């Protein structure tokens, strides 16, 4: 009887230990390691201060976004900041194209999940489609008017703010808590290559 009780206690201890290994806290620590591993093996140079508008981004330069844990931003291409409306432009003939809150962003993107060995465990692209995803910049909850969606992925909004202008292309490393709700549920970090326009 004593042996049976000891065996049962041992089995229960193993079950508790096994369950404890998949706690949200442990999954978040594992996610932090996945992101750190990705940065290390890709020789990413982490910038701790936001580069100014004239900064020439090196291929491996990623800004660790201040105020957000494990959100990294790399600008591939800066869009146009000013549009000229006439052949002989004056100051009054230019339009500032800076993206502002409530602009409707139309986006194309590639995404892949970060894993320990290969970064393509989960891969999805809309780059060959005609900007299939629309969302209201700066709005992460509630309802939107028209066809635009509410994009709950805070990381996307932060990236659009850092891109500043339409026709920009960036790459972002997004931890699950700053991604879409499915990402947060599964505690899966993703890398996105994001190309944006503003809907007129």
Closest CA to 82 of 70, 66, 93: 93
Instruction: Summarize the chain as % helix, strand, coil (round to 5).
Output: 30, 25, 45
What pLDDT is attached to residue 7?
41
Return left, alpha or beta for 64; rule: phi > 0 is left, psi -120 to 50 is alpha, else beta.
Answer: beta
Is residue 35's pLDDT more than 80? yes
Check: pTM over 0.85? Answer yes or no. no
The mean pLDDT value for 114-143 works out to: 70
Confidence of residue 14 (pLDDT cuts 50, 70, 90): very low
Confidence of residue 22 (pLDDT cuts 50, 70, 90): confident
Confidence of residue 128 (pLDDT cuts 50, 70, 90): low
Question: Lowest mean pLDDT: which of 5-14, 136-145, 157-166?
Answer: 5-14
Is residue 54's pLDDT more than 80? yes
Is residue 125's pLDDT more than 60? yes
Specify which of 38-52, 73-87, 143-157 reaches the highest per-range mean pLDDT.
38-52
Is residue 122's pLDDT more than 80? no
Both tokens of 67, joined, read 């105020």
Q: Mean pLDDT score of the chain, rounded to an integer?
A: 82
Is residue 119's pLDDT more than 80? no
Residues 6+ apart with CB under 8 A from 67: none
Residues 6+ apart with CB under 8 A from 75: 51, 57, 162, 163, 168, 169, 170
Please tell me which residue, 177 or 114, carries the higher pLDDT value.
Answer: 177
pLDDT tens digits, one per residue of 61-96: 999 999 999 999 999 999 988 766 655 556 566 778
Closest CA to 112 of 14, 38, 50, 61: 38
Q: What domains lie within the chain, and their CATH numbers?
A: 27-198 (3.10.50.40)
What pLDDT is attached to residue 192?
93
Please tell me which residue, 112 or 149, carries the higher pLDDT value.
Answer: 112
């Amino acid at each position: 009887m004593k042996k049976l009780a000891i065996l049962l206690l041992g089995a229960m201890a193993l079950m508790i230990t096994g369950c404890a290994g998949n706690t949200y806290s442990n999954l978040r620590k594992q996610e932090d390691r996945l992101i750190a591993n990705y940065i290390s093996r890709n020789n990413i140079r982490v910038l701790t201060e936001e580069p100014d508008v004239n900064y020439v981004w090196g291929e491996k330069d990623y800004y660790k976004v201040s105020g957000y844990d494990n959100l990294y931003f790399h600008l591939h291409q800066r869009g146009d900041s000013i549009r000229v409306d006439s052949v002989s432009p004056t100051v009054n003939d230019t339009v500032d194209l800076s993206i502002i809150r409530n602009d409707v962003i139309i986006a194309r993107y590639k995404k892949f999940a970060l894993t320990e060995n290969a970064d393509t465990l989960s891969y999805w692209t809309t780059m060959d489609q005609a900007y299939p995803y629309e969302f209201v910049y700066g709005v992460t909850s509630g309802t939107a008017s028209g066809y635009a969606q509410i994009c709950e992925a805070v990381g996307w909004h932060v990236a659009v703010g850092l891109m500043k202008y339409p026709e920009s292309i960036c790459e972002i490393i997004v931890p699950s808590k700053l991604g879409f709700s499915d990402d947060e549920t599964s505690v899966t970090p993703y890398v996105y290559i994001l190309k944006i326009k503003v809907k007129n």
